[in-house]
Structure 1
Amino acid sequence: MTRLSFLDQVPVVEGGSLCSALANAADIAAHCEALGFHRYWVAEHHGMPGIGGAATSVVLAHIGHATSTIRIGSGGIMLPNHSPLQIAEQFGTLDALFPGRIDLGLGRAPGSDQRVAMAMRRGLQSDHNAFPRDVVELQAYFAGDPNLGFTATPGAGADVQMWILGSSTFGAQLAAHLGLPYGFASHFAPGMMDEAIEIYRSHFRPSQYLSKPYVMVGFNVFAADTQEEANYVASSMQQGFIALRTGQPGKVKPPVRGYYESLPPQAQAMLDDVLSVSAVGPADKVAADLQAFIRRTRADEIIVTSQIFDHAARKRSIAIAAEAFGMLAETV
């Protein structure tokens, strides 16, 4: 049966603070745990005023203390920003704190623009082979490979589940080659999803980590008790994408009624494309959209995200997503 998980971008809203965003993240994680979600992930982004998960491993330590059973992890760590040894130490520490619960999703994008990438890792090279090498090096640290000449402490022997994430076919090929689970960022970059999933499944090589392909796909949910209210809460995310595409990223904006309808056709078309993997509506609409998406992708896991301004409305959306998913329990 398909699993349900949650991706949190730790939204920092207009009029709010990073402190309140982190408190809300812990509350959301506990909420997801109580609703039966399989895992809770935090995404690494930098230089974005509306996203509070930049220090991802620190945020996960905060989340771990607010939960007890749900798996927690990165969706993902942008490995080019870091040395593999540092990530081995950070996630080895998380595994020591919360044993058997830690996931490490890895991506090769910088999580912002090249100015931030250079500030994060000043020796950054535009070498397409660097990411695969770094992933293999990271695996060696967790395995305690004696050829390294030293032991990553913490890190060696940690029970960390590694994933390859992506929004193109590159990550699919790497995940298949290494025999690792694969997550596709269809919640904001759906264009190459079907092709990437097919490449991953058809080229998958069984490994010590995984015997058969395992696919996770991202899915936006903007749910409420009525269609009108769901359209309303979705407008914050729509405003965010318009701001990002026009070079004006900021904090998460309050929702605006009729926002989508007020946009010119070109902006509507952009939103229709980037948010095409979404469900907006009450529980029955969300259930129908989820079912169609699962049939299309045959995904092993759906990781939903709900970038909503109001914290209570966001919790309600997540609860409706869980309710909708429960409607499919006997059919997926």
Structure 2
Amino acid sequence: MSKRTGAGRTGTPAGRAASARGGPTKARPAGARPRAAVGKRPRSSWPLAAGLAVAAVVSAVIVFVIRGQDTGEGIPGTATAVEFGHVHGLAVDHGSGALYAATHVGLFRIDGERTAVRVSEEGPDLMGFTAVGPGHFLASGHPDEHGDGPANLGLIESTDGGVTWQTMSLSGAADFHGLQAAHGAVYGYNSTDGAFMVSTDRRGWERRSATALGAFAVSPTDPQVVLAVGQSGLQRSTDGGRTWTPIAGAPPVGRLAWEQGAEVWGADRDGTVWQSADGGATWQKRGRLPGQPHALTTHESTVFAAVTGDEIVASSDGGTTWTRRYAPA
């Protein structure tokens, strides 16, 4: 399949507008300047030249604040905090332990409380996002406004930490709003037709059911057990997503994370954090997020959440208290 750096254009007018508003501005490479005229410059032109030089410096400073500082490796960095517009997914790199955020304007690595680095040249509108291994990610969504090709990316894959992406399957046909790599397979929810799908090779897909779903999470110990947010609340599948049964008494969670054992995490619309120690059968209230949750993930003993205001927070005490990991200026 063809290889692309980043991805392309947002598939809907609303998505394009979001990407356009949030995307960094293209700028002339640092140090580039017009050729000087041949011969001695008249004395009267110096005030104008000085004014132009000052304007150029001011423009360069503005571009630096918006775009950030080049890393020197051909990958644009962002030295200051940026506004993502919305975080659709969070994942921790299995090798480096770095936290990544999939956004309307590309994939960012979170390097500090005020530092986020966009790791690819283009800014795809990433919807589904999951980590597979060290530097290995899967995603879906839409190309950015400058890209070519179909409005829906299908399944795309990066094996270099998100710098470049390769189309794997379903280009133009799938917009996965949920993806999870587990048990040597990829589980996905295709928002274009409501299909819950599974692939063992990232190219061929088995369509297992068709229903309206929000977030979902696959059991780390049983490939047949899946929890998902349905129209009537939290539901469970014990046959790999082919059929679904509502979970009586479950809280109204909208985000889910399930990394190890029987411990599941959930967050509802008002930011209340819930934890289940038995695979989603019963739930306990743990704490509250400082905003409405947009994405949720766990890594080892830490829970991460993206909330309103483009903030990312973390909890190391079971969701009781939260500390800021990233926020724009």
TM-score class normalised by the smaller sequence: under 0.3
Q: TM-score, normalised by structure 1?
A: 0.27
Higher helix share: 1
Higher relative contact order (CA 8 A, sep 6+): 1
Higher strand share: 2
Q: TM-score, normalised by structure 2?
A: 0.28
